[in-house]
Amino acid sequence: MTNQIIGGIAFSLAALCLPSIAIAQNTSTDNSAYIRDLVPEIRDLVSASGSTDGKARGLSGAAQEIVEKSGNITMRETDDSIVLSVTSDILFDFDSAKLTGKAKATLTDIAKILDSMPDSTVRVVGHTDSKGADSYNDKLSKSRADAVAKFLVGNGVQAARLKPEGHGESEPVAPNEVQGKDNPAGRAQNRRVEFVLPKA
């Protein structure tokens, strides 16, 4: 059903956007790449709207309040998981896996949320943007996930509950490029660490 929704949104968006693009460029060139770049954003928006009341099933009221007050944590749902996300720009300096000073307050909030779900195993997944070699990004994303997991363990989360993973640039939530041009805002969204919690 979700795929049908995504397809419908993509078709409608394309129908609305493409005429104005063609006029602005005074050309009838193929815009399929532009549509393809929008699909990750559409998919993420549909996932985020999975809960009609804005509340995640399986997340306590106290945990949801922490998310709302933080300002640095976003939340979305999949069919079987709750995904909390923090951009790497908050957690790390450029090309680094060392946590910044400002990362600690946000990760302390994450630790509190995990404490409210003591029986769940949590995947800590590092992601990068598309800059750099795949192998380097895989290594950097894993190192960042390890650093975050180490901080959480130091703040009371049991190590056995955490599964650090590095997915590099393979799972973008926004386009790294739009119509062949660099998209800094999209790349910033893709640089992130996610906390994937199973729904109760």
3-state secondary structure of 172: coil
pLDDT the model gives residue 35: 54
Say if residues 193 and 145 touch (Cβ distance below 8 Å).
yes
What is the biggest distance separating any 2 CA atoms in the chain, rounded to whole angstroms? 59
pLDDT (tens place) for every residue of the chain, 200 residues total: 444 444 444 444 444 444 444 444 444 455 555 555 555 555 555 444 444 344 556 677 888 999 999 999 999 999 999 999 999 999 999 999 999 999 999 999 999 999 998 889 999 999 999 999 999 999 999 999 999 999 999 999 999 999 999 999 999 999 999 999 999 999 999 999 999 999 87
Spatial distance between the Cα atoms of 86 and 84, rounded to a whole number of angstroms: 7
pLDDT the model gives residue 96: 97
Task: Give the DSSP per-residue string, 139-168.
Answer: HHHHHHHHHHHHHHHHTT--GGGEEEEE-T
Residue for token pair 């602005």: 24
Q: Which residue ranges make up each domain of the chain?
A: 53-198
User: The pTM is what?
Assistant: 0.73
Q: How far apart are the first and last CA of the chain?
A: 22
| CATH topology classification for 53-198 | 60s Ribosomal Protein L30; Chain: A; (3.30.1330)
pLDDT the model gives residue 167: 98
pLDDT the model gives residue 55: 56
